[in-house]
Structure formats: structure tokens, C-alpha cells
């Protein structure tokens, strides 16, 4: 398959579809998890499956940012202390999320004697994770992403889009249907039309049906 470029400006596409849309999906899934925990359904199998998928999406997103995006931004701002500090804070944000994710895991796995207690633990753990993630996402959206947008060349955004595409095809086929899950029709079509046509087709024929079958978060 040839190197097809995205239909609209790569910078805006990569920025919005890959980064912002994923942030939106993190928030949506954490709201779903909070609702499930509040209803005492944190142990339901589709809720667990939703959480497993969310963790995987967070991991992949951070991998793309920490392993690909931020090092390039860092190179571009070399020597500028204030900008470098922004990037360092993001790294420590990511490190801070890990134990909070582990705490949700532990609370979900806790089906022991004190069920009411376990439910309470899960609610508290989800709340803490949501707050920390929200702080982190705002931080990124307010400072790091605009910085990336201003210092990276168009070609680098094309490369980021290609990198993400490769990951979608190889190991993360559920990224696209996960992002568009439950979003409004306008945003949905904006997101999907920004994808190269072969990916859009792949999503329609394979990824989305597969994603829907999993019924993530249904209780
Ligand atoms: Fe991000």
C-alpha cells in the first residue's frame, strides 16, 4: 500500500484526530467507568473489558507522545529552558498516572469479603485517576500541544500521522472505532473523513464491527 497522505492538512489532522480526539475518548471512558462504579457494576465483564481497552489506549497514546512526539519537540526547543520545563512536567505527569491506574486495577480485582468497601475503593480510585488525568490533559492541551504545533514542521506531522497509521494497522486496530464511540455525527464524520480512504474502509468493514461486538462498558 502506497504512502497515502491524509485528506486535510496533516498538522491539523494529526493534532486533532490523534491527540485531541484521544483525550476526549479518555474522558468519556473514565466517565463510563465512574458511572459503572457508582452503580456498583465495576466488576461486570464488559466494564472490565472497557477498562482493559482504556488502559491499552492510554499506554499507546503515551508511547506515541513520549517515544515520538515529545523527543522531536524537545529537539526543536533545545536551549529554551521554559519550553523544556513544560516537557519535563509532562513526563512526570505520565509517571504519576501509573500508580493511580494500578490502584483502579487493584480496586477492580477486589471482589473479597467487603463488597461495599470494594465498591467504595473503586469509586475513590476512579475519581483520583480522573482528576489526575484531567489535570494532565489540560496541561498538555494548554501548553505542550500548542508548543508542538508551533515548532514542528508540516513534514513531521505527516510522519506522526504515518507512524500512528502504522500502529493502527499493526497493533491497535480498535483505536479508530474507540475514538468515535458515542461522539456526535458531525464530529464522527469529521474524524472519519480526515482518515485516508483505505483506513476508513478498513474501519467500516472490520474494525468498527469488531469493536461493537465487544460491547465495552455495557452493563
Ligand atoms: Fe496526550
Please report the domains of the chain, with CATH numbers, ordered by start residue.
10-161 (1.20.120.520)
Q: Mark 178-198 as b/e (b = at least 16 C-beta within 10 Å).
A: bbbbebeeeeeebbbebbbee
pLDDT tens digits along 1-20: 333 444 445 556 556 667 88
Q: How many whole angstroms from 5 Cα to the centroid of ligand 1?
A: 22
Q: What is the pTM of this model?
A: 0.87
Q: How many whole angstroms from 123 Cα to the centroid of ligand 1?
A: 24
Q: How many whole angstroms from 20 Cα to the centroid of ligand 1?
A: 7
Q: How many whole angstroms from 216 Cα to the centroid of ligand 1?
A: 22
Q: Among 167, 172, 173, which residue's Cα sits nearest to residue 67?
A: 167
pLDDT at 206: 92
Q: How many whole angstroms from 89 Cα to the centroid of ligand 1?
A: 13
Q: How many whole angstroms from 172 Cα to the centroid of ligand 1?
A: 16
- 145 neighbors 15 (Cβ within 8 angstroms): yes
Mean per-residue pLDDT for 133-158?
90
Q: How many whole angstroms from 99 Cα to the centroid of ligand 1?
A: 18
Amino acid at each position: 500500500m502506497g504512502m497515502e497522505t491524509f485528506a486535510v492538512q496533516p498538522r491539523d489532522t494529526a493534532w486533532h484526530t490523534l491527540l485531541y480526539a484521544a483525550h476526549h475518548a479518555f474522558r468519556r471512558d473514565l466517565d463510563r467507568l465512574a458511572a459503572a462504579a457508582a452503580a456498583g457494576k465495576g466488576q461486570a465483564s464488559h466494564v472490565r473489558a472497557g477498562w482493559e481497552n482504556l488502559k491499552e489506549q492510554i499506554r499507546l497514546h503515551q508511547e506515541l507522545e513520549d517515544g515520538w512526539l515529545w523527543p522531536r519537540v524537545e529537539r526543536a526547543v533545545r536551549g529554551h529552558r521554559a519550553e523544556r520545563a513544560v516537557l519535563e512536567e509532562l513526563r512526570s505527569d505520565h509517571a504519576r498516572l501509573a500508580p493511580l491506574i494500578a490502584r483502579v486495577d487493584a480496586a477492580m480485582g477486589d471482589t473479597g469479603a467487603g463488597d461495599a468497601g470494594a465498591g467504595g475503593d473503586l469509586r475513590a480510585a476512579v475519581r483520583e485517576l480522573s482528576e489526575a488525568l484531567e489535570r494532565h490533559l489540560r496541561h498538555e492541551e494548554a501548553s505542550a500541544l500548542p508548543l508542538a504545533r508551533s515548532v514542528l514542521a508540516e513534514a513531521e506531522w505527516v510522519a506522526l500521522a504515518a507512524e500512528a497509521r502504522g500502529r493502527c494497522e499493526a497493533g491497535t486496530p480498535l483505536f479508530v472505532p474507540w475514538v468515535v464511540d458515542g461522539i456526535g455525527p458531525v464530529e464522527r464524520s469529521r474524524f472519519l473523513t480526515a482518515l485516508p480512504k483505505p483506513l476508513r474502509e478498513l474501519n467500516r468493514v472490520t474494525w468498527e464491527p469488531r469493536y461493537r461486538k465487544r460491547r465495552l462498558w455495557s452493563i
